[in-house]
Structure 1
Amino acid sequence: MTNKKQMRTSTKRMLEDILRDYPKLPKYIKEREEELHHPTPDTDDNIGGGRALNKVSNPVERLVLTIDDDRRLNWLKQEQMAIDDCLDESGEITVEIINKLYFHNHNEATIRTLVNEGDVPVSYTKGYQLLNDFLFKLAKKLNIDVL
């Protein structure tokens, strides 16, 4: 799948940031779920006064609605699923490229260094093509406009 189209630089950088965060996504998801399980209570500015008559008092029901409706949590899960799907659909060399470029901390690797050091058995052109195809697939799965 060769993409002759160009991707906006800002879109490519955003997708690369999403990929760099991928190893931390399970931690981010767990932290967000914990935030939703243990929300900070609202301060009560009502001094004296009566009871709230229409207040929902079922904390389990409120928690389920909050977790299901939480945009940040849903986006994190969507990112994780999209990357998992793209990795599953990609060949071994593409997975190795993505792994070495984005999943290692403080990594300064480029396609050129991966090819020069023999980490991936393809040419520069083929390496860039595999990377770009992966980024286009990921953008499509995340419904991100690339142009």
Structure 2
Amino acid sequence: MNIIRSGTKKRIEEILRDYPKMDRYISDRKQELMYPIQEVDENVGGGKSSKVSRPQERMIITIDEDKELKALEHEKKAVEASLLDSDTDTNIIARELYFKDHPKYQMDGLIEDGLIYCGHTQAFQKKAKLIRRIAKEMGLYDPY
């Protein structure tokens, strides 16, 4: 069995909790890039700028090169790919434990109330496998 570092596990769990809000985060970041706060230029005259002069072209380049936006999109794709590759029980575990603002269940409750159809040990294995799968998709997978 592959072991994952506790810091990596916590980071993946944070990403899972943020996943339902990821589209909004991406949209907000694009808005920040498209409509930046304009600085007042007090330089009268002056020389030429090295920036691209056409604003539309500059905006496309900015959006395309923004590291924060790329990271958000990469996290979203990693979670989506991992959930698509997972079984129904794993998807329910993710939805109930991570995607809800105020989770009603813990793992034992999911099993006892019949929301997932596996035992205690297998449920925790499915959760761990999902976390490892997302870490691997993101390139955070620990090599031991």
> Could you say whether these structures have the same fold, taking a TM-score greater than 0.5 normalized by the shorter chain as the test?
yes
Q: TM-score, normalised by structure 1?
A: 0.89
Deviation at 1:5, TM superposition (A): 2.3
Identify which range, 59-68 or 7-16, moves more after superposition: 7-16
Alignment counterpart, residue 49 of structure 2, candidates 49, 54, 60: 54
- Secondary structure in 2 matching 1:12: helix
TM value normalised by structure 2 = 0.91
Q: Give yes or no for the alignment of 1:41 onto 2:41.
A: no
Amino acid at match of 2:95: N
1:94-123 deviation line (CA, Å, top 9, x unaligned) = 111111111111226322221122221110
Count of residues in Structure 1 that have an aligned counterpart in Structure 2: 142
Match of 1:18 in 2: 15
CA RMSD in angstroms comes to 1.5
Q: Could you tell me the percent identity over the aligned residues?
A: 33
SS in 1 for 2:2: coil
Of 126, 129, 140, the residue aligned with 2:125 is 129
Where does 1:1-147 land on structure 2 (aligned, <5 Å)?
A: 4-46=1-43, 48=44, 50-55=45-50, 56-107=52-103, 109-146=105-142
